[in-house]
Amino acid sequence: MTPPLIDPFARMIEYLRVSVTDRCDFRCVYCMAENMTFLPKKELLTLEELDRMCSAFIRLGVKKLRITGGEPLVRRDIMTFFRGMTRHLEDGSLTELTLTSNGSQLERFADDLFAAGVRRINISLDTLDDAKFAQITRWGRLPQVLRGIDTAQKAGLRVKINTVALQGFNEDELFTLTDWCASRDIDLTFIEVMPMGDLGNEDRLGQYWSLKDLRAQLAQQYTLTDLTERTGGPARYVQIAQTGQKIGFITPLSHNFCESCNRVRITCTGEIYTCLGQEGHSDLRGPLRASEADVDLENAIRAAIALKPKGHDFDYSRQQVDGQVSRHMSHTGG
């Protein structure tokens, strides 16, 4: 038996998030700069290397694999990678293959994703207003995303919407978004904005909308029941009695969720970040490319897991942005 991946705080690592590209066809203000300098393509792991990397983690006990970006579906020939991962679903070593997307490419790929074994997909959507959507994504087109969601549901994919709670931006859409998701049988998760990347002109403190306050507003109109359900991620869930839908809350600032963290992240260049909110990382591309055998790679993975910190240091409580990390969200893969 291969020993499982266990970090210094006795957390078993079973969830891997892999960025397959730093590129995206949107420029969401909390994720990346408008004029991004992207990595040279030669620095990215090839699709074959991504397959080998993920397969090594699966051998070491990873059960859930989430593909991210950037926007993962803009990576050329990405379905080759998804189809390759299907073998791990078929032999039972992987229990879930999923992805996070902005929805822009789902009209093209939803059926292929379902055929590859994907059954759930998270779609980032912060507003249902055309003008505000163009503002928050800079380059995005809301009708294209809504068509993608339609296509995904028709293909049989279970859709969950991820909405970043932004003070002064989508506060007035709290009930609009909730009711829209309920009408479509779509689950909804709210996320607190995190201090990542060069803030530039973006006021993270001014954008911060505590989910404690958001939940209190929801409770004024709906009856909320806490659920014990966990999906392997940081969200805590409630059920709305009036609609039956599930609402999630990801609260890296108002309630640190690190005690149950079972995940690590791989960048598209083969760096492993064992905490989204810390700068510490290790190189896996070197040992991956050093030998066709995976002994060095597996040893490097175990060494990286041994350095996983207890948690992040995100904090706005003193009315200043503490715990900020310099890399953009798109670099690590969300």
Say if residue 222 carries a ligand binding annotation. Answer: no
Say if residue 100 carries a ligand binding annotation. Answer: yes
Say if residue 263 carries a ligand binding annotation. Answer: yes
Say if residue 54 carries a ligand binding annotation. Answer: no
Residue 55 tokens, joined: 């397969």
Say if residue 275 carries a ligand binding annotation. Answer: yes
Q: Given the DSSP bridges, would you call strands 246-250 and 187-192 parallel, antiparallel or unpaired? A: parallel
Say if residue 30 carries a ligand binding annotation. Answer: yes
Give backbone dihedrals phi and psi of 125, rounded to 5 degrees, phi first.
-150, 115
Say if residue 66 carries a ligand binding annotation. Answer: yes
Residue 49 tokens, joined: 């290397």
d(CA 84, CA 52): 10
Say if residue 268 carries a ligand binding annotation. Answer: no
Q: Taking Cα atoms as reference points, which of 149, 152, 150, 133 lies closest to residue 141?
A: 133
Say if residue 70 carries a ligand binding annotation. Answer: yes
Say if residue 236 carries a ligand binding annotation. Answer: no
Annotated binding site for S-adenosyl-L-methionine: 30, 70, 124, 194
- List residues forming the annotated binding site: 17, 24, 28, 30-31, 66, 70, 100, 124, 160, 194, 258, 261, 263-265, 275
Residue numbers belonging to the annotated binding site for [4Fe-4S] cluster: 24, 28, 31, 258, 261, 275
Annotated binding site for GTP: 17, 66, 100, 160, 263-265
